[in-house]
Amino acid sequence: MIVVREVFIAKPGMASKLATFFKAEMGRDAKVMTDMTGSFNTVIMESEYESIAAFEREMQEHMNTKPANDPSRTNYQEMYTQGKREIFRVW
Residue 40 is part of a domain; what is its CATH number? 3.30.70.100
Distance CA 10, CA 81 (A): 6
Look up the pTM and report it.
0.84
Q: Specify the pLDDT at position 61.
A: 85
Name the residue with higher pLDDT: 77 or 42: 42
Given a contact cutoff of 8 angstroms between Cβ atoms, the answer to whether 5 and 45 are in contact is yes
pLDDT the model gives residue 69: 64
Query: Highest mean pLDDT: which of 34-38, 63-67, 74-78?
Result: 34-38
pLDDT interval class at 63 (50, 70, 90): confident
Query: What is the total count of domains within the chain?
Result: 1
Phi, psi angles (nearest 5°) of residue 51: -160, 170
Q: Are 61 and 55 in contact (CB under 8 A)?
A: no
- Domain limits for position 37: 2-89
